[in-house]
Amino acid sequence: MDPLSPAYPVHMQLEAYNARDMDAFMIWWASDCQYHVFPDQLVANGAGEIRERHVERFKEPNLHGRLLSRIVSGNTVVDHETVTRTFPEGPGEVDVICIYEVVEGKIAKAWFKLGTVRLHH
């Protein structure tokens, strides 16, 4: 993958997410980045809040984001993923549409639209 492509930081942060490597994950987020639940609910403002949001999540042993498709248009990257997690109700998965705005090689803004959680039985 071309390191100059807007998809590169998105790809690298997904790899770090799956490795549960906080330091490798955070280098791809701009210091003043914004993290939203789609369409406009700001849930983390700045890299510190994004890090804080992921500390507990990265402790989940089954955490994994599986990329299903990716679209790149200008500096916007749209991923469709299935994310496996341990939810309060138990282990399961959820489809997520992830929209990233990449500026100067870092994720500046992100929006996440979650589908319905499917618990594993």
CATH (domain of 26) = 3.10.450.50
What does each of the 121 residues of the chain score in pLDDT, given as a tens digit? Answer: 899 999 999 999 999 999 999 999 999 999 999 999 999 999 999 999 999 999 999 999 999 999 999 999 999 999 999 999 999 999 999 999 999 999 999 999 999 999 999 999 8
In a domain, 1, yes or no: no
In angstroms, rounded to a whole number, what is the distance separating the alpha carbons of residues 6 and 3? 8
- The predicted model scores a pTM of 0.95
Task: Count how many domains the chain has.
Answer: 1
- Which residues, including other chains, have CB under 8 Å from residue 27's CB and lie 6 or more apart? none
Handedness of CA 94, 24, 34, 104 (dihedral sign): negative
In a domain, 46, yes or no: yes
Q: Which domain holds residue 96?
A: 7-115
